[in-house]
Structures are given as structure tokens and as C-alpha cells.
Structure 1
Amino acid sequence: MLKQRVITAVLLLLVLLPALAAQAAWPFGLLTLVMIGAAGWEWARLNGRSGAGSVSSGLMLAFVSMAAGLTGMVVPPWMWWAAVLLWVLGGTAVLRLGVPAWPQLPPGWRQLGGLLMLWLAWLAIWTAHGRGLNFLLSLFCLVWAADIAAYFGGKAFGRRKLALSISPGKSWEGAFSGMLGVLVVAGLWMYLDTRLPVDGPSLYTVLWQRWGGALAVLCCLFLASMSVVGDLFESLVKRAAGVKDSSGLLPGHGGVLDRIDALLPVCPLALALIQ
């Protein structure tokens, strides 16, 4: 399993890195459209659609996202703040209700809500890409730092379960370790912003300039906590569907949703916080 995970990760990097390095925007745009379309297909399958229905959901999501990109859609700030409400109120409410309550929600609402969630995440990633590679990577690395620090912190110190019925492996200690890891990465990244010839300020520098020191720290902690919400939310949906992975598209890793679940709330919420 580990060998398979490593091979898949290397192949993904061989696709991602050239797309990020390209001066033109279309390679990265094409890659993210493929990924978000696959995620839409997975979401539809997890929520009761199969065959042509799930494929059409993925294709529709990719088409709508492509249309927004080609027309140069400028996302108004209220849409990012709507995403904040969607995730903070809706996401936490779903987690509080638990796994049994998810299938009781109307199927249409589950489908529409998930596709809207994915579309907003794609818009945020595309907008972040337009702000420069440094900004985009700092946004991605916030989520990766939270995940990695939470894993090792949970392994070392984990005692109190965070959400036993949803994800038994997660602990409060792991979540707090993830937040600490994000603060360390933010501090190092802001220092490097002043020392390296970057193409623009990172997310952390923008938050510091926009909010000041103390509030910028709170913003980073908030984003780190919402990455946990995104992870738990997808785990809840998978448990309700009775599956371990969102699909088998990425051998050793599961599906696309399994890789981007924490990015789904963090990306649009980060864009809201820098407005």
C-alpha cells in the first residue's frame, strides 16, 4: 500500500508541478477542471446517483467552472462570505447532527449543496492562482501543514477523541498540533516573503497587512480549524454511504475528494478574509 501511495503521489507531482510552473494559465486551469469534475462525479455517487447521473454531475460542474474561468468572472466578496456562512453554520450543523442524519436530508439538497461547495472551492483556487504562485502555494501549504502536524501530534499526544463516530483516529491534541503547525509555517513564510524574489505576497503576509498581527494569527487558526471541518465533513458523508474512499481514482490515496476535502472550506474562506 505504501509503495502504491508513493507512486501515485510522484505521478501527481509530475503533472502538478509543470502546470504550476507554466507561464500560461491554461495548464493549471485544465488540471483543476479535470480534478473538480472528478470530485463532482464522486460526490454524486456518494449521495445516491450512479451511472450516467453521476457522470453528468461531474461534467456539469466542470463545464460551469470552465465557463466562469473563460469569461473572466470576477467573484464578488459577498460570495466568499456566503461560503463562510455555508461552512461555519451548515458544516458544523451537519457534524453536530452526525452520520445518521445525513441520509435523511433531501437528496436534491445534498446534491446541489455539494456541487455548490465544489464550485466555490474551484473559483477560490482559480482566483488564488491569479494572485501569484506564492499566494497559491501558501494557501495549499496551510492545509498540508495542518494535516501533517495534526497527524504527528495526534500520534504523539492524542488522548481525547475529536469525533469518535465520524473519524475515530482524530484527536483534540492532533487538531491543536495542526493549528500550531500552521502558525509555524505562517511565520517562516512571511520571513521568506521578505528575503526571496517572490511573484507576490503570500496569504499570510496579506492577512498580516489586512488585519494586523493578533487578528492575522486568529485568521490562521480559524482556517486551520476549518480544514478539520472539511476533513470530518467528507468522512461523515463516506460513512453515511458505507464506503471507505470516495472512489479508487488515485490508487493508494482513494479518490479526489479524499485529497481535497480540507481545501474545500479553506480556499473560499481564505479569499473572504483577505477582502
Structure 2
Amino acid sequence: MSRELQLRIVSAIVLIVVVLAATWFGGLAFKAVAAAIGLLIYYEWSTITRLAEGSLRANAFGWLSMALISLNMLFGQADMTVPLFAGLVITMAIPSMLGRVSWWQAGGLFYAGLSAISLSAIRGEDSLGFIAMLFVFVVVWATDILAYFVGRAVGGPKLAPRISPGKTWSGAIGGTVAGVAGGLLVAMTHFQDIGLWVGLVALALSVASQIGDLFESFIKRRFGVKDSSKLIPGHGGVMDRVDGLVFACFAAFFLAIAGSAGSAHTVVSMGAFLFGL
């Protein structure tokens, strides 16, 4: 076994143990993991897009914004997180519209901030949030693993050759089927009655996770980098590992917001919304 493969295995085990333990405990432990992911994503985004070479003031504001979002998630009022995030992103978007700073600046704040917020919102504070987070994990992991193996075994037309030449339509379809099956399995092990809604949610999250993978590939190809960073031994960067996960969380987060309009559900009860309870 090569040293690189050993590093990949050890790093993967450590990451899985840390993430699953934080997911189990929830509360401050999971919020800390979510905040760390958001901050590291912003660091990698800033590095890839070379934000430090642009406006120093805008870059400092971006880091300050991420710090404020993280601190509010950890110690502030939960109902203030989304308004704070929206206000900071809009504040950054205004000079972008005026051409004073790059759109990559506002984009990085949106991407990294929403990554942390959506992860934290899905886990929530109760046992239902734990199941919901497992549901998202399994959908994303099953999609990613089966897309790789089905794509290699079946081959066929490329999904997006200009962005990610290795991905195929067969892999995308195989991954989606696996993601839906995995999500339904998680739901069936915890609830007696599940409806079509759960399968549709799993389908949406599976597709979103693959879009997230392609999005990160586009960013790296746009700026000519292979890995988002070298933070994870044998794996590259945090963005390389969570690209599909955060897009799936985005999809769940916005679905819950849309579904909460005119209903009893709120973003805080995302688990109930995802499972149609």
C-alpha cells in the first residue's frame, strides 16, 4: 500500500469519525464543525480566486463577515443568522454591481456562509435533525460512490466534458438512483410510513450534489488549479470533499424555506419538512 493511499485512508477515517461524532452530539459541537467548514471554504475560495490580489478592504470585509456569521451561529440568536448573512452578502454585492470589487468576492461569501448556515440548520437541535443530517449524508455519499463506479463500468456519453471530462451520463443516473435508494433506506429505518415526498426530496438532493461537484470543477478549471488546497492529507482541500454535500444542503435549505411559506414549518424544523411530517 502506497504512502499516499495510507494518508487518504487515515484522513478519511478521522474526518468521518469527527463529523459523525459531531452530528450525534449536535448542539455546539456540530455548529463548530459547520462554522469551521464555512471558514475553510472561504479560505480556499479566496486562495483559488486570488481575492487577496484585489481589494484589500473587500477581502478584509469578507473575512470579518465570515467571522460574524460563525460567531452568531455558535453563540448568538439562531433567528438572526439568516438576516445577518443576507445583509452582509447584499453589502458585498453592492460594490460588485458598481464594478468596484470582483463578483468572486460576494460569491465566496455567499457560498461559504450558506455552507455553514445550511449544515447547521439541517442538524438543528433535536433528534429529528440528527436523522435529517444522516439522510443528507447518505444521499450524497451514495450518489458520489455509485456515480464513480457506474461511470467507470458503463462509460458512455460525457456529462459535461468541458468542465469535468471524467463524468458520464451513466454515472450521473446510477448515482442518482443510488442516492434516492440510500435516502429512502434511512427514512424507512426511522419512520413507519414514508410517502413519495421523501423520494422526491432525495432525488432533488442527489441531483444538487452532482451539480455542486460540477460547480467546484468549473471553479478549479476557471482558475487553473488541481485541488482547492492541501489541507486534508491525501485528499486535497475541504471544497474538494464537501462540494456535493454543501449543494445538497443548499437545496434542502431552500426547499424548506419555500415549503415554510404559509405552513407551520420553519427553517428550524427542517427535519420535519424533509420527511413530510
Match of 2:123 in 1: 129
Is contact 1:36-1:118 (8 Å) kept?
Answer: yes
Change (3 A) 1:106 1:216: farther
Provide the C-alpha distance between the structure 1 equivalents of 2:179 and 2:236, rounded to a whole number of angstroms: 25
Match of 2:208 in 1: 226
- The TM-score, its normalising length taken from structure 1, stands at 0.75
RMSD: 3.0
1:182-193 aligned within 5 A: 182-193=179-190
Match of 2:110 in 1: 116
Q: Percent identity?
A: 34
Which residue of 4, 8, 12 maps to 2:7? 4
Match of 1:245 in 2: 227
1:189-208 aligned within 5 A: 189-194=186-191
Match of 1:20 in 2: 23
Match of 1:96 in 2: none
What are the Cα deviations for residues 195-245 of structure 1, in whole angstroms up to 9, with x where unaligned? 7xxxxxxxxx8xx5xxx51x5433322221111111111111111111100
Is contact 1:34-1:62 (8 Å) kept?
Answer: no
SS at match of 2:234: coil
Q: What residue identity is the alignment partner of 2:39? A: G
Which residue of 31, 34, 38 maps to 1:32? 34
Match of 1:256 in 2: 238
Relative contact order (alpha carbons < 8 A, sep ≥ 6): 1 or 2 greater? 1
TM-fit CA distance, 1:13:
2.8
Match of 1:98 in 2: none
Which residue of 62, 66, 82 maps to 1:61? 66
Q: What residue identity is the alignment partner of 1:119? A: G
Q: What residue identity is the alignment partner of 1:174? A: G
SS at match of 1:248: coil
Provide the C-alpha distance between the structure 2 equivalents of 1:61 and 1:156, rounded to a whole number of angstroms: 42
Change (3 A) 1:173 1:107: farther
Match of 2:247 in 1: 265
TM-fit CA distance, 1:273:
2.5
What are the Cα deviations for residues 46-82 of structure 1, in whole angstroms up to 9, with x where unaligned? 1122489678745641432321443233379999xx9
Change (3 A) 1:77 1:48: closer
- The TM-score, its normalising length taken from structure 2, stands at 0.75
Change (3 A) 1:231 1:269: same
SS at match of 1:74: helix
Is contact 1:147-1:178 (8 Å) kept?
Answer: yes
Where does structure 1 lack aligned partners over 5 or more consecutive residues? Answer: 83-104, 196-204
Q: Say which is worse superposed, 237-246 or 67-76, in terms of deviation.
A: 67-76
Q: Say which is worse superposed, 223-232 or 183-192, in terms of deviation.
A: 183-192
Provide the C-alpha distance between the structure 2 equivalents of 1:38 and 1:50, rounded to a whole number of angstroms: 15
Q: Say which is worse superposed, 239-248 or 52-61, in terms of deviation.
A: 52-61
Provide the C-alpha distance between the structure 2 equivalents of 1:68 and 1:76, rounded to a whole number of angstroms: 6
Where does structure 2 lack aligned partners over 5 or more consecutive residues? Answer: 87-98, 260-277
